[in-house]
Amino acid sequence: MTAFIDRLADATARQASMLCVGLDPEPARFPGAWKGDAARIYDFCAAIVDATHDLVCAFKPQIAYFAAHRAEDQLERLVAHVRRVAPGVPVILDAKRGDIGSTAEQYAREAFERYDADAVTLSPYMGVDSIEPYLRWDGRGLILLCRTSNPGGSDLQNQLLDGGERLYERVARLAAGPWNRDRRLGLVVGATFPEEIARVRAIAPTVPLLIPGVGAQGGDAAATVRAGWRPDGPIIVNSSRAVLYASGGEDFAAAARRVAEATRELLQRERGS
């Protein structure tokens, strides 16, 4: 498989997009006769993929939304569907795993063999040995939680360390330096903190940034691009609920496309300004 960072760069350029659509299916919000039917998770997500695959630089399925409904088989089918209809668009498995040793090896096998993801999100707070098992899969990306968009993220991530560095800054420095031996690492930085996106970008100028929080969580798309995008520093701006649930009716896929297209255009305009 082509390395994740190369697939990302190619999709970003070819699609003229920094937008990632998050696939967080909630059957209670499905349209019409599908409402409440977990057996329709694949159908709903595949319709979103079909409607938006030419507008995005990545898709990001969140594993919990599938596993909670015993729909892991539908997730496998969904990734295979992405491969068919959008073979150049990378898939980021949002799993936020964080363990070591043989357990981490099994999580890596789950992400990269079972689900065939191009990249996976990880928690780095057990140190470098929680990351190393994933590096055995050549070319796959590892995107580390750094400065997340939830209010409670400050409880730990914003704590001041000896020497005056914040914890999230230390994570960024490690990901840009000694941990990033073969350009496989990225960082998660929430769109609700544009000043801290800029700080992470200053520390890690070329590391890909996965930026959730645009749309339903209130993140400012324009401020996100200004803070994070650089010609040699890609950003992956994720929007989930604002796209998936743009309409509760039978036109949900068309509505999702309209929102995705408008978001992509906003991001691109800000990049060019």
Residue 227: CA count within 13 A, CB half-sphere: 23
Q: How far is CA 187 from the centre of its chain?
A: 10
Percent composition of the chain: helix, strand, coil (DSSP 3-state, to 5): 50, 15, 35
| Options 96, 109, 166, 241, the catalytic residue | 96
Whether 85 and 94 have beta carbons less than 8 Å apart is answered as: no
* 60 labelled catalytic: no
Give the tokens for residue 151: 């209010």
Distance CA 112, CA 2 (A): 13
Whether 216 and 242 have beta carbons less than 8 Å apart is answered as: yes
Whether 186 and 144 have beta carbons less than 8 Å apart is answered as: yes
- Residue given tokens 């594993």 in the structure block: 63
Alpha helices in 86-193 (DSSP H): 101-109, 154-157, 167-176
Residue positions annotated with a catalytic role: 96
